[in-house]
Amino acid sequence: MNKTKGEPMSNISPGRIRSPMGGSFTIVSAEAAASLPRDDSARLQFRVPEAWRSPVARNPFAGEAQGRVLEWFAALGCTSEELERARAFDIAGYVGVPFPMLSQEKTVLFARFLSLWLLWDDMHVENLEHRWRIGAEHVLTGRRPPEMTRFDEGWWQLFEELAAGRSARWSRGICQAMATWSDAAVEEATAMRHYGETGVPPRFERQLELRSATIGMYVTLYLLESGYETELPYKFHQQPTVRRLNLLANELVGVGNDIFSFAKDQAQRQPNLVSTLMAERGLSVEEAIQVLIRRHDEAILEFDQLARLLGSGARTDLRIHRWLRDVRYATLGFSLWEAQAPRYTSYKVVVRERAIEPMFAFV
């Protein structure tokens, strides 16, 4: 979930970089940018309806969840390098901001799931070492796949716990969603490797499709139902409107992810939606960020329009209203977390001696 690219892979200097239109920007460390003024103009603001923001800013059980995740990783046999990487995740913020309303038990469960996903992705998937191995046939029969890694063991424990009390249909759905994510993640990692070898990123629309597929919200929305200890009807998930809402949630988190990780990706010489837009359309860095912010805000408007249709009517299932509310909280919450997480904020973009920091305006 919330994939961020790993090690540097090309020969592009991360110092002063010129856009195709001749404008320049600099990537500097957060410490170097600390004394600079910020560009807080409205053109670099996400405009988000107030209803998307939870009245609870952070889950009160998130701190406890972080400690229990790290203990669990150690029990799985994670290496010292893996444990250090996990400690730098800001696990409490990662689960606490997108999922502010979960119970204590579910907060720990979600924190384990999301953190294992992020660590496994960093250490194995992006290096094209391992794919998803746990299918519904394993979960439903209790038959473990052979020769499991420590990450597989973690997934096995989680999916045994998740499947308890859930229908076979639900278990099949979340296992398939993870397998689909894994395939897309391998494709994205292969494209990143190709970029490192050639300097040529995917076309913007294809890169956005991959980013939306690998950001992980398809799986995360299944987890929401686990948080309720209930399941929404199969027919609900098959509706074209619901499918479109799922796609929009993935795109919203994916676009936010690349905006907030742009400086880090430039420093690590990784492709990003911002840099791809600059190269493909001849935009400055500010113009490219503006284009993505507008796309983000248009996706929010479409989401709300579809949600009104889905949730209209006096007899609408209250579970649907809750699901729509929590999809909004989670979708925005991941972007709010990205805006302040050390994983994303170690570098800054500087234009004309001002640090570029997109902000949220609630309307």
Q: Is 189 helix (H, G, I), strand (E, B) or coil?
A: helix
Strand order in the sheet with 38-39: 16-18, 24-29, 347-351, 354-356, 38-39
Provide φ and ψ at 161, rounded to 5°: -70, -45
Nearest residue to 331 (alpha-carbon basis) of 54, 40, 44:
54
The pLDDT, as a whole number, for residue 6 is: 46
In the chain (363 residues long), the average pLDDT of successive 10-residue segments reads 44 41 78 92 95 97 98 97 94 98 97 96 76 93 94 96 92 94 90 87 94 94 88 90 96 97 92 94 95 98 94 73 95 96 91 94 96
Q: Characterize 335-356 residue by residue with b for buried, 16 or more Cβ atoms within 10 angstroms of its Cβ, and e for exposed.
A: bbbbbebebbbebbbbbeeebb
The pLDDT, as a whole number, for residue 234 is: 87
The pLDDT, as a whole number, for residue 124 is: 78
Cα distance between residue 326 and residue 249, in whole Å: 11
Cα distance between residue 34 and residue 29, in whole Å: 9
The pLDDT, as a whole number, for residue 273 is: 96
Structure tokens that stand for 357 in this block: 């920091």
CA angle 204, 209, 210 (to 5 degrees): 100
DSSP-derived pairing of the beta strands 347-351 and 354-356: antiparallel
Cα distance between residue 99 and residue 93, in whole Å: 10
Give the number of other Cβ atoms within 10 Å of residue 318's Cβ. Answer: 8
- Which DSSP state fits 127? G
> Could you tell me if 170 and 106 are in contact, meaning their C-beta atoms sit under 8 angstroms apart?
no
The pLDDT, as a whole number, for residue 354 is: 94
> Could you tell me if 169 and 234 are in contact, meaning their C-beta atoms sit under 8 angstroms apart?
yes
